[in-house]
C-alpha cells in the first residue's frame, strides 16, 4: 500500500527530475456528444511503449498512433459517453503516465419559431418573433443562449431559457417577411460552446395568426357560429370549432372542422343543429393558415339554446268533472308547461268549440284559464302556445258527448305497494290506441300518464294520501269516457291514536273502555285491540278483543292494588299504543258494602228505636214528677211513684217510639265520653236514631254506598252530643246527624248539621202541675 502510494507520487517527480515532459492532454476535455476527438500522451520520460485505458478498461491499440519518439495520439471516434476518464500507461511497468477526463454535451435541437401577435385583438403585421428549442443538459448548468439569424448569423435574441422572443420590428432587416431564412441557437457555458443545426424556414410559414373573433347566435332550432380571422395575409386556412354543453360535470366536447378557401378566407360560419333545447353551450374557435401552426383558441362564448318545437311535449289532457244541474259540464284542462329555463316568454290560450264546428274549421271560444264549461255535446279543446305573440305550437283534445258510444274501461283495480299505486283495468271491446290515467289527491293538482297497456304504476305520490284515479281510453284522435277507480291511499299507515282510556275499577275487576281518533285519511283499519296491564311489580298481562269492541272487563285483579295499563290498536299495516295510565282496585266489593250499609242502617235504627222506647217506658215507671213547693204540705211525703204513669209523658205521634222505657235506653247508650270523629268505634252507630230513608233516596246509590263504607276515613256518622248522659232525661233532644252523604274528609261538626231529628218531649212539669 505504501509502496503503491510511493510509486504514484514518486513517478512524476522522477519524471520531473529527469526534466522530461510526461503527461496526457488536453485536460478537462468537453466535446459534443457523438463527435471525434484526439488525446496525446507525451512520453519523454519513459521512452518505452505505452497503452491506453478508458475508465480502467484497455482500449484497442489500433486507436493509438505513435507520431515520434515522444508523442503518441489516441483517436476516439463517435464518442457518446456522458463522461469518461482516459489514461496513458507504460507498457512495461503499467504505470500511469497521465490521464484526462472527457465530458460530452448536446447541442440545442427541435427549434421552432413563430411570428405572432402580442395583442391578439390588434390587426396588423405580426410584431413578435419567438423561437423555442430543446436542450438536454445534465446536470443543469448556467447556459447563455443566443439566437442567430440569416446567413450573416446576426444575433437577434439572448436568453437563459429554451425560448426567446424578439420584436419583429427590430429584426425585420435580417428576417424578411417573405422568403426563406434560417436561425441557429448557440449555447454557451463557461467550459464549452455549441451551436444548433440551422433551422430553415419560409417566414410566412411561421405565421401564427391572431385568435379569431367569435360570435354565436341562438336561432329557433339551431345555433349559428360565426368568426373572423384578423390577419393581413390572405390565404386558405383551416378552422376548428369546439363546443360542449356548459354544465358543471365533465361533458363530451365536439370539434367541427371548416376550411376557408381563398375566395372568402377571412370569415367563417357554421350551423350547429344537434343541441338540446334551453341549454347553455360553450363555443370556441381557432384557425391556421395552411402549413402554419394553430392560432390560440378564441375567447369562449356561451349561448342558451332556444326551445325547439320538436322538444315541446304539451301532453294536453282534460278531466271531465261531474255534470252539474243545468247540464253544464266542467272540464279541467292540463298540460306540461314549457320549462322556465327557456328565456322566451310563452303564453297559453285554452279554447273550446263544439266538435262539429271543429270539423268545419272555426269558432273557438276562450275558456277561463284552464277550466272550460260546456254542454253535454261533444267538444274539442284546443291549447295554443304563443312565443312572443307568434304561434309556437298547438294541440287539441276531444271531450265526448254525454252518452256518446265511445270506449270505456271497466273493472278498475287498484292496490298499493311501497307508496306506489298499481292500477289495472279491463280493456273495452272497441279497439283503442292507449289509455290516459289522471289522478289527483286534492281535486286541484292533477297528474296524468299515458300507457298502451291495461295497467300502470303511479309513483312519486304523496305518502299516506288518498288518490282519485280516472282511466280514459284513447282512440284515433278522440277520447272515450273516463272511469274512476275507488279512492285509494298511496300507503296505509298505522291505526289512529288510542285515547280516552277510562277505567271503572272494583276490587277484583275493572271495566276499561277507550276511543280511537285518527287525523289521517289513510290510517290503518284496526284488526284487534290488546289491553296490557300489570300490577306495580307484576308482569304485563295482555288481553285482546276484536276491533268491533272498544272496551274490556279485566278480571282476577288484586284488591287495593295499583295497576298500570295501556291499549294497543293493531292494524295490518302497523299498530299504535296509547299512553300508559294507572288505576287502583278497591279493598272491598263496593256493591257488597252498599248492601251492608243499607241493612246495617236499618238494624241500627231498629235497635236504637227499641232502646229509646224501652228507656222512655222505664222513665215512665221509674221517675216521679217534681213536686211543686206551693202545693206542698207539711205532712210527710209518701211515695206515689207509680200513680198515673201514663200521664207523665206526651209522645208526639210522629215519633217512632210509642212507649219507651228510659231505663232500657240508658243501658243501650254509650258511656258518657266525648265522641271522636276520627277514632270512632263501629258500635257508635247503634246510638243513631235516624230517619235515613228520604236522604238515601235523593242520592246516588254509589255515593251513598261509599259514604256508608265503614273504612272510609271521611265518613261522619254522627254521634250523640256530649251532654247526653244516661242520667239526664233531656239527652235525646240533641239533634242527631245521619251519616254524611259524601266522603268528605272535612266532616262537618255536629251542630252545623240540619238533619232530621227525633224528639222525645218530657212534659212532666206541666202535666204534673196539672194534676
Ligand X SMILES: *[C@@H]1O[C@H](CO)[C@@H](O)[C@H](O)[C@H]1NC(C)=O
CB-nearer residue toward ligand X: 427 or 607: 427
Shortest Cβ 314–ligand X spacing (Å): 23
Give the phi and the psi of residue 465 in degrees, each rounded to 5.
-125, 135
Instruction: Pick from 173, 442, 761, 769 the residue near ligand X by CB under 6 A.
Output: 442
Distant-in-sequence, close-in-space partners of 93: CB < 8 Å, separation ≥ 6: none
Candidates 323-331, 436-444, 550-558, 697-705; binding stretch for ligand X (CB under 6 A): 436-444
Q: What letters, b where the CB count within 10 A reaches 16 and e where it falls short, cover 553-572?
A: ebeebeeebebebbbbbbbe
Q: Write out the binding residues for ligand X, residues 446-465 only, by CB under 6 A.
A: 453, 455-457
Binding ligand X by CB under 6 A: which of 78, 80, 257, 548?
257
Binding of ligand X at residue 440 (CB under 6 A)? yes
Residues 6 or more apart in contact with residue 174 via CB below 8 angstroms? 149, 150, 152, 154, 156, 181
How many Cβ atoms sit within 10 Å of the Cβ of residue 414?
A: 20
Smallest gap, in angstroms, from Cβ of residue 365 to ligand X?
Answer: 7
How far, in Å, are 256, 288, 367, 551 from residue 265 at the CA level? 17, 11, 57, 96
Among the listed ranges 3-11, 396-404, 440-448, 592-600, the one in contact with ligand X (CB under 6 A) is 440-448
CB of 206 to ligand X, least distance (A): 19
CB of 704 to ligand X, least distance (A): 40
Asked if the peptide bond before residue 139 counts as cis, ω within 30 degrees of 0, the response is yes
Write down the least CB distance from residue 358 to ligand X, Å. 11
> Is residue 3 near ligand X by the rule CB under 6 A?
no
CB 107 within 8 A of CB 134: no
Cβ-based nearer residue to ligand X, 189 or 384: 189
**Nearer to ligand X (CB atom), residue 206 or residue 287:** 287
Q: Does 362 interact with ligand X (rule: CB under 6 A)?
A: yes
Count other Cβ atoms within 10 Å, centred on residue 191. 11
Query: Residue 286 or residue 478: which is nearer to ligand X going by CB?
Result: 286
Count of residues interacting with ligand X (CB under 6 A): 29
CA atoms of 322 and 56, how far apart (whole Å): 111
What would the x/- binding string for ligand X be over residues 374 to 403, using CB under 6 A?
------------------------------
- Residue 518 or 528: the one with the smaller Cβ distance to ligand X is 528
Can you tell me which residue has the cell 507504460? 90
Task: Provide, rounded to whole angstroms, the least separation between the CB of residue 446 and ligand X.
Answer: 10
| DSSP-derived secondary structure for 120-185 | TT--SS--EEEEEEE---SS----EEEEEETTTTEEEEEESSSEEEEEHHHHTTTS-SSSEEEEEE
Q: Are 97 and 50 in contact (CB under 8 A)?
A: yes
- Output 238 or 584, the one with its CB closest to ligand X: 238
Instruction: Select from 63-71, 90-98, 331-339, 644-652 the region that touches ligand X (CB under 6 A).
Output: 63-71
Q: Stretches 81-89, 439-447, 736-744, 758-766: which one binds ligand X (CB under 6 A)? A: 439-447
CB of 249 to ligand X, least distance (A): 24
Query: For ligand X, what does the binding mask look like between residues 488 and 527, x meaning CB under 6 A?
Result: ---------------------------------------x
Task: Using the minimum distance from each CB to ligand X, give the nearer residue, 49 or 508.
Answer: 49
Residue 259 binds to ligand X (criterion: CB under 6 A): no
Which of residues 155, 276, 357, 700 is near ligand X by CB under 6 A?
357
- Show the site string, 229-248: x = touches ligand X by CB under 6 A, - = not: ---------x----------
3-state secondary structure 80-115: CCCEEEEEEEECCCCCEEEEEEEEEECCCEEEEEEE
CB of 386 to ligand X, least distance (A): 22
Show the binding pattern over residues 118-157: x = contacts ligand X (CB under 6 A), - = does not: ------------------------x-x-------------
Q: Which of 134, 100, 103 is nearest to 35 (CA)?
A: 103
Beta bridge partners of 683: none
Minimum distance from residue 684 beta carbon to ligand X (Å): 53
Q: Which helix (H) or strand (E) holds 534?
A: strand 526-535
In the complex, minimum distance from the CB of residue 190 to ligand X, in angstroms, rounded to a whole number: 5
C-alpha cell at 695: 236522604
Q: What angle do CA 431, 437, 440 make, to 5 degrees?
A: 160
Nearer to ligand X, 481 or 506 (CB): 481
In the sheet that holds 346-354, the strands lie side by side as 365-366, 346-354, 379-387, 390-399
Binding test (CB under 6 A) with ligand X, winner from 87, 284, 472, 570: 570
264 near ligand X, rule: CB under 6 A: no
* Sign of the CA dihedral with 295 first, then 301, 306, and 311 last: positive
Beta pairing partners, 186: 146, 195
Distance (Å, whole) CA 491 – CA 424:
17
Q: Is 67 in the site for ligand X (CB under 6 A)?
A: yes
Which residue pairs, CB below 8 angstroms and at least 24 apart, start in 633-638?
none
Q: How far is the CB of 605 from ligand X (least distance, A)?
A: 53
What is the rounded CA–CA span in Å between residue 328 and residue 503?
A: 57
C-alpha–C-alpha distance, residues 130 and 154, integer Å:
16
Using CA atoms, how far residue 363 sits from 354, 366, 379, in Å, is 9, 10, 12
Choice between 302 and 544, CB closer to ligand X: 544
Minimum distance, C-beta of residue 486 to ligand X, in the bound complex (Å): 8
Q: How far is the CB of 112 from ligand X (least distance, A)?
A: 18
The mark string for 23-42 relative to ligand X (x by CB under 6 A, - otherwise) is: --------------------
Choose, by CB under 6 A, the member of 35, 63, 71, 315 that binds ligand X: 71
Asked if 548 is part of the footprint of ligand X (rule: CB under 6 A), the reply reads no
Q: Which is nearer to ligand X, 456 or 503 (CB)?
A: 456
- Residues 267 and 225: their CA atoms lie apart, in Å, by 11
340 versus 548: smaller Cβ distance to ligand X = 548
Site string for ligand X, 465-494 (x = CB under 6 A): ---x------------------x-------
Show the cell assigned to 433: 290506441
Query: What crossing angle do the helices spanning 701-708 and 590-622 adopt, rounded to 10°?
Result: 60
Told to check if 528 binds ligand X by CB under 6 A, we report yes
What DSSP character marks residue 10?
A: H
Q: What is the distance in angstroms between the CA of the first residue and the CA of the last residue of the chain?
A: 177
Return the residue of 69, 548, 632, 633 that touches ligand X, per CB under 6 A: 69
Stretch that binds ligand X, among 185-193, 371-379, 474-482, 557-565 (CB under 6 A): 185-193
Nearest to 753 by CA among 690, 700, 708: 690
Q: Is 72 in the site for ligand X (CB under 6 A)?
A: no
In the complex, the residues that contact ligand X under the rule CB under 6 A are 67-71, 142, 144, 188-190, 238, 257, 357, 362-363, 440, 442-443, 453, 455-457, 468, 487, 527-528, 544, 570, 572
Amino acid at each position: 500500500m505504501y509502496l503503491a502510494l510511493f510509486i504514484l507520487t514518486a513517478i512524476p517527480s522522477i519524471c520531473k527530475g529527469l526534466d522530461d515532459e510526461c503527461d496526457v492532454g488536453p485536460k478537462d476535455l468537453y466535446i459534443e456528444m457523438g463527435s471525434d476527438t484526439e488525446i496525446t500522451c507525451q512520453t519523454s520520460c519513459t521512452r518505452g511503449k505505452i497503452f491506453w485505458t478508458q475508465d480502467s478498461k484497455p482500449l484497442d491499440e489500433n486507436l493509438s498512433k505513435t507520431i515520434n519518439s515522444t508523442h503518441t495520439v489516441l483517436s476516439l471516434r463517435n464518442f457518446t459517453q456522458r463522461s469518461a476518464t482516459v489514461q496513458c500507461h507504460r507498457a512495461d511497468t503499467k504505470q500511469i503516465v497521465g490521464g484526462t477526463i472527457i465530458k460530452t454535451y448536446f447541442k440545442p435541437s427541435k427549434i421552432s419559431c413563430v411570428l405572432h401577435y402580442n395583442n391578439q385583438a390588434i390587426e396588423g403585421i405580426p410584431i413578435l418573433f419567438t423561437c423555442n428549442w430543446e436542450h438536454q443538459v445534465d446536470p443543469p448548468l448556467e447556459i447563455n443562449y443566443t439566437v442567430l439569424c440569416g446567413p450573416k448569423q446576426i444575433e437577434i435574441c439572448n436568453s437563459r431559457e429554451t425560448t426567446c422572443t424578439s420584436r419583429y420590428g427590430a429584426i425585420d432587416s435580417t428576417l424578411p417577411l417573405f422568403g426563406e431564412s434560417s436561425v441557429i441557437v448557440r449555447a454557451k457555458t463557461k467550459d464549452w460552446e455549441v451551436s444548433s443545426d440551422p433551422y430553415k424556414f419560409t417566414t410566412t410559414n411561421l405565421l401564427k395568426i391572431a385568435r379569431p373573433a367569435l360570435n354565436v347566435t341562438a336561432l329557433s332550432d339551431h345555433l349559428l357560429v360565426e368568426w373572423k380571422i384578423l390577419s393581413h395575409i390572405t390565404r386558405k386556412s383551416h378552422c376548428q370549432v369546439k363546443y360542449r354543453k356548459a354544465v358543471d360535470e365533465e361533458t363530451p366536447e365536439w370539434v367541427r372542422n371548416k376550411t376557408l378557401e381563398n375566395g372568402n378566407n377571412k370569415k367563417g360560419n357554421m350551423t350547429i343543429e344537434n343541441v338540446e333545447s334551453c341549454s347553455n353551450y360553450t363555443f370556441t374557435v381557432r384557425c391556421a393558415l395552411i402549413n402554419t401552426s394553430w392560432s390560440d383558441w378564441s375567447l369562449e362564448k356561451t349561448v342558451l339554446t332556444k326551445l325547439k318545437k320538436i322538444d315541446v311535449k304539451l301532453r294536453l289532457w282534460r278531466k271531465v268533472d261531474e255534470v252539474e244541474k243545468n247540464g253544464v259540464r266542467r272540464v279541467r284542462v292540463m298540460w306540461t308547461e314549457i320549462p322556465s329555463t327557456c328565456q322566451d316568454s310563452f303564453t297559453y290560450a285554452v279554447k273550446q268549440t263544439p266538435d262539429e264546428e271543429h270539423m268545419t274549421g272555426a269558432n273557438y271560444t276562450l275558456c277561463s284559464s284552464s277550466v272550460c264549461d260546456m254542454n253535454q255535446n261533444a267538444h274539442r279543446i284546443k291549447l295554443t302556445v304563443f312565443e312572443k305573440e307568434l304561434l309556437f305550437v298547438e294541440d287539441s283534445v276531444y271531450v265526448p258527448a254525454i252518452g256518446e258510444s265511445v270506449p270505456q274501461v271497466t273493472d278498475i283495480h287498484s292496490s298499493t305497494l311501497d307508496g306506489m299505486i298499481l292500477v289495472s283495468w279491463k280493456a273495452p271491446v272497441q279497439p283503442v290506441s292507449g289509455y290516459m290515467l289522471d289522478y289527483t289527491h286534492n281535486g286541484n293538482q292533477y297528474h296524468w300518464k299515458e300507457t298502451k297497456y291495461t295497467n300502470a304504476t303511479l309513483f312519486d305520490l304523496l305518502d299516506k294520501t288518498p288518490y282519485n284515479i280516472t282511466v280514459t281510453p284513447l282512440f284515433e284522435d278522440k277520447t272515450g269516457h273516463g272511469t274512476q277507480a275507488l279512492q285509494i291511499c298511496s300507503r296505509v299507515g298505522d291505526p289512529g291514536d288510542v285515547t280516552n282510556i277510562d277505567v271503572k275499577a272494583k276490587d277484583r275487576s275493572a271495566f276499561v273502555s277507550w276511543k280511537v281518533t285518527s287525523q289521517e285519511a289513510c290510517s290503518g283499519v284496526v284488526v284487534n285491540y290488546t289491553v296490557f296491564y300489570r300490577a306495580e311489580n307484576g308482569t304485563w298481562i295482555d288481553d285482546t278483543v276484536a276491533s268491533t269492541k272498544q272496551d274490556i272487563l279485566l278480571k282476577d285483579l288484586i284488591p287495593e292494588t295499583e295497576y298500570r295499563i295501556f291499549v294497543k290498536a293493531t292494524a295490518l299495516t302497523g299498530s299504535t299504543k296509547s299512553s300508559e295510565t294507572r288505576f287502583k282496585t278497591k279493598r272491598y266489593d263496593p256493591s257488597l258494602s252498599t248492601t251492608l250499609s243499607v241493612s246495617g242502617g236499618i238494624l241500627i235504627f231498629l235497635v236504637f228505636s227499641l232502646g229509646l222506647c224501652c228507656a222512655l217506658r222505664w222513665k215512665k215507671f221509674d221517675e216521679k214528677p217534681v213536686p211543686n213547693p206551693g202545693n206542698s204540705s207539711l205532712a210527710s211525703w209518701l211515695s206515689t211513684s207509680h200513680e198515673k204513669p201514663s200521664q207523665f209523658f206526651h209522645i208526639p205521634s210522629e215519633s217512632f217510639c210509642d212507649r219507651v222505657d228510659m231505663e232500657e235506653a240508658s243501658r243501650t247508650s254509650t258511656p258518657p265520653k266525648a265522641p271522636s270523629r276520627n277514632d270512632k268505634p263501629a258500635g257508635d252507630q247503634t246510638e243513631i236514631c235516624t230517619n235515613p230513608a228520604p236522604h238515601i233516596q235523593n242520592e246516588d246509590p254509589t255515593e251513598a254506598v261509599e259514604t256508608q263504607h265503614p273504612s272510609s276515613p271521611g265518613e261522619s256518622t254522627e254521634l250523640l252530643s256530649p251532654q247526653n248522659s244516661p242520667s239526664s232525661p233531656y239527652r235525646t233532644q240533641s239533634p242527631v246527624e245521619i251519616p254524611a252523604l259524601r266522603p268528605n274528609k272535612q266532616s262537618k261538626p255536629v251542630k252545623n248539621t240540619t238533619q232530621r231529628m227525633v224528639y222525645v218531649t218530657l212534659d212532666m212539669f206541666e202535666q204534673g202541675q196539672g194534676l
